[in-house]
Amino acid sequence: MTLTRRQILLLLPAAAAAWDFVLAGTPEDAPNYKMTDHWWGMLLDIAKCIGCGSCVRACSMENEVPDGYFRTWVERYHVDDWHIENPTVDSPDGGKEGFPANGKTGGKNFFVPKLCNHCTDSPCTQVCPVGATFHTADGVVLIDYNYCLGCRYCIQACPYGCRFFHPTRHTAEKCTLCYHRISKGLTTACCEACPTGARQLADLKNPNDPIHAFLKTHTVQVLKPHLATGAKMFYNGLDGSVR
Amino acid sequence: MEGFMYPNEVELQWSVLIVLYPFLTGLVAGAFILASLERVFRVEAVKPTYRLALLTALAFLIVAPLPLQLHLGHPERSLEMYLTPHRASAMAMFGFVYLWYLMAVLLLEIWLDYRRDIVLLAQSSTGLKRVMYRALTLGSANISAGALRVDDRAGWIITLIGIPSAFMLHGYVGFIFGSVKANPWWSTPLMPVVFLFSAMVSGIALVLLMYMVTSAIRRRAIDMNCLDTIAKYLFYTFVIDFSLEMLDLIHRIYEADESFRSLDFMVHSRLFLSQIVLQIFVGTLTPLTLLALTQLVQFAEQVRKRIYAAAAILTMIGIFAMRWNVVIGGQLFSKSFLGYTTYKMGFVTKEGMLPAIVLLILPFAILYLLIKILPPWQEETAAMIEADGID
Amino acid sequence: MSRFKDSAHLIPVAALFVLGAVAFVALRAAVIPKSFGRYGPYRGDALQEITSRPLVYAGHEACEGCHPDVLEMKAKGVHAHVNCESCHGPLAKHADDPASVIPVKPDVATLCVRCHSENIAKPSGFPQVDAKEHAQGQLCNTCHQPHSPGFDTGGKK
């Protein structure tokens, strides 16, 4: 059976869509991904986070994160009245199984999800002695597990506590912004699993990305702005008590 | 764990081995600077300790990379620091500073100063020793007055270069900590300077002790002029070091930034023994007082020797405590300033107390070997040559 | 001439240094990974190693292709933006081979309360209940259709 040009033109998009699904499970690299077309960040909406821990569980399953260590985690804050310099904070097992009631009444209470901020001027890549941790052209900070010496200088240099030492691989380890997913057009595991849309991956180079409108209309902050790390995880409604 | 810490912060990353590293390189820098006092600044009084100080520096410099190798997750990849050094990283650049200092400064200076003895020993010894000494001569047997003058001149130039190199060697270690803006316990421009002066203090104290110990073993009289001069330099350097540390402390207390309350609590609880008791009282105020006394009051020789020895031992304890308080202290508090953790040091583990003790003893074993091969004292060298029997 | 003779012993030292430098350069050429520096000051092959990790979560678009009926039901209710794998767990293996890899249904007793048990830190507008009081010993899906749980959107079972 020969196909007419018209038939091919109609079939191609369907075939492309189907191909995307086929690629979904196959461990290949992303042939059509151009790094310089993207600049990755994330929007974290404090007003929407319910502390369910789905993101922490999803990340640990997607990335084989060892028990007791966290590429992402959720913190619960309790602020008494005007004492924003003295919040009570907890994060039981990183919030992986949610948060048991803590008996707090009154005050201001909320959840803060945290992960690597993929800083533009990251102090961690600055201190790596061998170039084992680096920035990609699309703004993701990654670790080369086959090159890292395990000196742990980067772990010391990160102001956000998002890095850890992998207990069996003996290299530094942290959130990769699910690079293996976003380079294939998928979203990160944590954003996929979040039931309320508190976490949303953002491509800052894409003019149609909803984050641009969001940043214009909401009060947004990054963590520890005084350290000028160029963090790209933007928090909506971040309270002054958040460390 | 107490209070709140980011979940990944509870475990300490840098262990007692990383405390050991600045301690060892500090001793190297300090011993070398004492040696250079004689060579460049013509402080004749300390000449009896010149060669001993150089050999001490070499013994400790050889051991210094070992705690790092034990600490690395992949020590087999450590060559990468020389192959693809990341120029923005202080740690990477330090690898080259270390290499430069070892090769171009210390080894070269030792060789130039010992060359005459090496040639004589090469001629007098037999068997394996002869092979070793002949190799060390690098093929030349010229120990004429002219050649020795050339050696002296070259050695002087190298020592001159060596002083800023020694400053770099330990200043860089201070910078490795001082440039980490994420950690307010470490991040201060004073850190390289404090490290350097505390290194000089510990190095001078070590050479003082080594001189007294080796003199006792050799049953030789101590040159009191030499010992008094070393003690004087120890005192002055310590005053500067103490002033710098007090400046840092007063500045912190006065400015009281967001980290202050957390750090203050940490010092008074988890670091009370190591900082307030060991570093400040036992390791700084006591030796400073003892040394000040010797500068103000005339004591008999025996008394002075005992005071110097006590002061030097306490100083070394104090400087070790200072390294501990910087490295371990910097990891005991959370970067959220809301919590604290504890350091669980193993004993017979890769980064535990036992390897640390072994690594502290190892330089002395190496020094013993070095002294046997390259005796710092003329009498021993002459005796070796005589024993070999010159043809 | 004698002055040169007296400095001659320094030549082997200089030669050793030069030799060392040459050996160092040669070593670098031989040992540095070839892909180093391709994209920046790091090993270029690392990017491919990282992107070739297997997917564990399929992503909701993969599910919607085969389960349009669930999608339709979900779209009408308050769980419209809750992605499938948020409750059902990672399903890339199932998406790759739907016939042989059968997903395990989530455990209702633990799943729903993780989001909906009341907690003072949750946003006040978010539906949360005291699970024991509300459920009276029954499982959540006795009354609520998980894909469209609100009663006013046809969610009552």
**A53 versus A17: which is more confidently predicted?**
A53
Question: How many alpha carbons fall within 13 Å on the CB side of residue B358?
Answer: 12
Is residue B344 pLDDT above 80, yes or no? Answer: yes
Q: Is the pLDDT of residue A19 over 80?
A: no
User: Range of B285's domain?
Assistant: 2-210+237-388
Considering only CA atoms, which of B174, B165, B168 is closest in space to residue B23?
Answer: B174
pLDDT value for A8: 55
Contact residues, chain B, for A123 at CB < 8 Å? 180-182
- Determine whether the interchain pair C57/A21 forms a contact, defined as Cβ–Cβ distance below 8 Å: no
CA distance B334 to B96: 33
Residues of chain C with C-beta less than 8 angstroms from the C-beta of B108: 13
Instruction: State how far the Cα of B41 lies from the Cα of C91, in Å rounded to an integer.
Output: 75
pLDDT above 70 for B334 = yes
In the structure encoding, which two tokens stand for residue C61, read together? 């678009």
Are the beta carbons of A150 and B74 separated by less than 8 Å?
yes
Are the CB atoms for A89 and A71 separated by under 8 Å?
A: no
- On whether any CB of chain B is under 8 Å from the CB of A197, the answer is no
Give the tens place of pLDDT for each residue, B13-52.
999 999 999 999 999 999 999 999 888 888 889 999 999 9
pLDDT computed for residue C2 by the predictor: 57
Nearest to C9 among B82, B140, B149 (CB): B140
**Contact of C122 with C128, CB cutoff 8 Å:** yes
Residue A31 has pLDDT above 70, yes or no: no
Residue B228 in this model has a pLDDT that exceeds 90: yes
Contact B142 C13 (CB under 8 A): no
| pLDDT for residue A26 is more than 50 | no
Q: How far apart are CA A237 and CA A230, in angstroms?
A: 19
Indicate if the pLDDT at residue A18 is higher than 50. no
d(CA B136, CA B108): 11
Does residue C21 carry a pLDDT above 50? yes
Chain C touched by B139 (CB under 8 Å): yes
A12-26, A96-110, A189-203: which has the minimum mean pLDDT?
A12-26
What CATH class has A38-121+174-236?
alpha beta
Residues 6+ apart with CB under 8 A from B276: B267, B268
What stretches of chain B adopt beta strand conformation (E)? 2-3, 339-340
- pLDDT at res. A11: 52
Instruction: Give the tokens for residue A186.
Output: 């998928």
Residue whose C-alpha is closest to residue A157's, from A127, A117, A119: A127
Each residue of B109-130: pLDDT tens digit? 999 999 999 999 999 998 999 9
In this structure, are residues C79 and C147 in contact, taking their beta carbons and an 8 Å threshold?
yes
Q: How far apart are the CA of A113 and the nearest CA of chain C, in angstroms?
A: 13
Give C-chain residues touching A44 at CB under 8 angstroms: none
Rounded to a whole number of angstroms, the distance from the CA of C77 to the nearest CA of chain A is 13
Of A35, A61, A131, nearest to C41 by CB-CB distance is A131
In a domain, B65, yes or no: yes
Instruction: For residue A133, give the 3-state DSSP assignment.
Output: strand
| Complete DSSP assignment for chain C | -HHHHHHTTHHHHHHHHHHHHHHHHHHHHHHS-TTBTSSSSSBTHHHHHHHTSPPSS--HHHHHHH-HHHHHHHHHSTTTTS-HHHHH---HHHHHSTTT-PPPPP-HHHHHHHHHB--TTS-TTS--B-HHHHHTT--GGGTB-TTS--GGGT-B-
Flag if B89 and A129 touch (Cβ within 8 Å): yes
Contacts of B217 (CB under 8 A, 6+ apart): none
Answer yes or no: is B67 within a domain.
yes
Q: Judge whether B143 is closer than 8 Å to chain C, CB to CB.
A: no
Out of A87, A164, A227, closest to residue B181 by CB: A227
Give the pLDDT score at B205: 97
- Residue A240 CB burial class (10 angstroms; 0-12, 13-18, ≥19): exposed
3 state DSSP class of A177: coil
Residue B391 scores a pLDDT above 50: no
Q: Is the pLDDT of residue C149 over 80?
A: yes
Q: In 3-state terms, chain A is what percent helix, strand and coil (to 5)?
A: 25, 20, 55
Q: Is A50 on the interface with B (CB under 8 A)?
A: no
Instruction: Say what the pLDDT of residue B76 is.
Output: 96
Question: Interface partners of A (3+ CB pairs, < 8 Å)?
Answer: B, C
* Contact residues on chain A for B95, CB-CB shorter than 8 A: 129
CA angle A212, A214, A218 (to 5 degrees): 130
CATH of domain A123-173: 3.30.70.20
Whether residue A60 has pLDDT greater than 60: yes
Domain count, chain B: 1
**Residue B147 to residue C20, Cβ atoms within 8 A:** no
Amino acid letter, residue C96 = D
Kindly state whether residue B225 falls inside one of the protein's structural domains: no
Tokens standing for C10? 């320094």
Kindly state whether residue B264 falls inside one of the protein's structural domains: yes
Residue B189 lies in a domain: yes
In this prediction the ipTM stands at: 0.93
Using a pLDDT cut of 90, give the percent of chain B over it. 91
Q: How confident is the model at residue C157 (pLDDT cuts 50, 70, 90)?
A: low
What phi, psi does B197 have (nearest 5°)?
A: -70, -35
Q: C-alpha angle C110/C111/C112, rounded to 5°?
A: 105
Can you give the pLDDT at residue A3? 53
Which chains have 3+ CB pairs within 8 A of C? A, B
| Pairing label, strands A133-135, A141-143 | antiparallel
User: Is residue A15 over pLDDT 90?
Assistant: no
Distance from CA of C126 to the nearest CA of B (A): 27
DSSP-assigned states of every residue in B213-261: HHHHHHT----HHHHHHHHHHHHHHHHHHHHHHHHHHHHHHHH--TTHH
**Residue of chain C minimizing CA distance to B104:** C17
Mutate to test the interface with C, among B83, B110, B134 (most CBs of C within 10 A): B83
Residue B299: band (very low, low, confident or very high) from pLDDT cuts 50, 70, 90: very high
From B11, B78, B336, residue closest to A149, measured CB to CB = B78
Residue range B155-166: average pLDDT? 92
Residue B4: what pLDDT? 96
Cα B388 from Cα B123, distance rounded (Å): 9
User: Measured between alpha carbons, how far is A229 from A120 in angstroms, rounded to an integer?
Assistant: 7
Q: Which residue has the tokens 């969001």?
A: A214
CATH 3.30.70.20 range(s) for chain A read 38-121+174-236, 123-173
Q: For residue B99, tell me if it sits in a domain.
A: yes
pLDDT digits (tens, 9 = 90+) for C73-105: 999 899 999 999 999 999 999 999 999 898 889
Calculate how close chain B gets to C103, using CA atoms only, in Å.
32
pLDDT of residue B211 exceeding 50: yes
CB contact under 8 A, C2 and B86: no
- Tokens standing for B146? 């002219």
User: What pLDDT is recorded for position A55?
Assistant: 97
Q: What pLDDT digit, counting tens, does each position of A214-230 carry?
A: 999 999 999 999 999 99
CB-CB: which of B84, B140, B154 is closest to C36? B84
The pLDDT of residue A2 is 55
pLDDT computed for residue A13 by the predictor: 54
Share the mean pLDDT of chain A.
Answer: 90
In a domain, B217, yes or no: no
Query: What per-residue confidence (pLDDT) applies to A65?
Result: 97
Across A90-120, b (16+ Cβ under 10 Å) vs e yields: bbeebbbebbeeeeeeeeebbbbbbbbbbbe
- How many contacts does A have with C, using Cβ atoms within 8 A? 156
Residues 6+ apart with CB under 8 A from B135: none
